[in-house]
Chains A and B, each alone.
Chain A
Amino acid sequence: MSATVMQRRPAVRALLTDRPADLLVIAGLGTPAYDLFDAGDHDGNFYLWGAMGGAAMVGLGLALARPANPVLVLTGDGEALMGLGALATIGARKPSNLSIAVLDNGHFGETGMQRSHTSLGTDLTAVAAACGFAWTATAATVEEARALAPRLADRSGPALIRLVVGAEPLPKTLPPRDGAYLKTRFRAKLGLSPA
């Protein structure tokens, strides 16, 4: 076991090492969105500011629409728990180009650091495996997270990656919150015109 607990932002940067140009990333509300933005804004990033529980399903709809693009959903344990049924839905559909990375600090970080179910017994990798995900992995160090980066684009999914991170508060780095702008920017990257 590592002596120091991995921090969220180095974990996200490690997972995005040598980010493939065609990788599309959906970030769930709260710290996953801040951490993705902190790792570097990108037209292929779509940040949610609400719709808790929905990030994985936005990723599924996108992955099915864009089978040639690898899709990463970056979410937290709180949102993954709220949308637990989405893991069953993804497991039923089995898109090989979809990965779900869960920043698991075992707490609801935005709301006062209450303990979440992953601190109280739920193992999200076991849930995903039981739902039929092709593979799951747990990374507790930056090196382990970096080692998983090439797998985001290898079409071996659906995958669930649990990033075990600390619960220390970090300064917020806020992405744009105009959803229509983010949607139009994202679609333009894919060559899709506005309505």
Chain B
Amino acid sequence: MSDATAPADTSTAAWKDAVFAALKGTGVTQVNYVPDAGHARLISLAEADPEITTVVLTTEEEGVAASAGAWLGGARAVLLMQSSGVGNCINMLSLVEACRFPMLMLVTMRGEWAEFNPWQVPMSRATETVLAAMGVRVVRVERAEEAAEVVSAAADLAYGSEQAVAVLFAQRLIGRKVWK
């Protein structure tokens, strides 16, 4: 496969719109995010939606706390980040387990497939381990056609059973980052 035929990681794609629709369908009204190119479509859809409040974060752990606060007030939040941001969340995830807060995280993976930047690799390798160590259930999305269903099920698990769930979007699904 050449870079010319691979999808760019900022691309619009039907599955990204379907993921947004799935979030809307489960009642999510707060979208807290550290930007990632793989989430760009989702972020722009959220910012354009009058029923959704978006919060741009300076670091991912802020979003763990904000999502907990949303639930204290009866709102459902989702936290968007790339895999490098998972490491920033570790201690803040204590809040989730100690209070049994629901937590829904959508994580775009870097460092695992056709990665050009070696600095992305260590946290990529540690992402699932770190989340599991802090009590977060991890589900991966490898294929576009399953993305919306997995997100919908993860949201129902998080908010129906007050669980912490992270959906990891494979780097292969998101597409190669364009370096030129």
Please report A residues at the B interface, Cβ cutoff 8 Å. 24, 26, 46, 48-66, 69, 83, 85-86, 88-89, 92-93, 179-180, 182-183, 186-187, 190, 192, 195
Contact = CB atoms under 8 A, between A and B. Distances in A.
Contacts of A63: 69, 73
Nearest to B163: A195
B73 to A, nearest CB: 3
Contacts of A58: 65-66, 68-69, 72, 95
A180 B99 contact: yes
A101 to B, nearest CB: 16
Given A85-B58, A179-B95, 11 more contacts: A24-B73, A46-B72, A51-B65, A51-B95, A54-B65, A54-B92, A60-B69, A61-B70, A85-B62, A86-B62, A183-B99
B45 to A, nearest CB: 18
Interface residues of B, number: 38
B27 to A, nearest CB: 12
A51 B142 CA distance: 32
A86 to B, nearest CB: 6
Contacts of A24: 72-73
Interface stretch (B14-22, B49-57, B114-122): B49-57
Contacts of A65: 29-30, 69-75
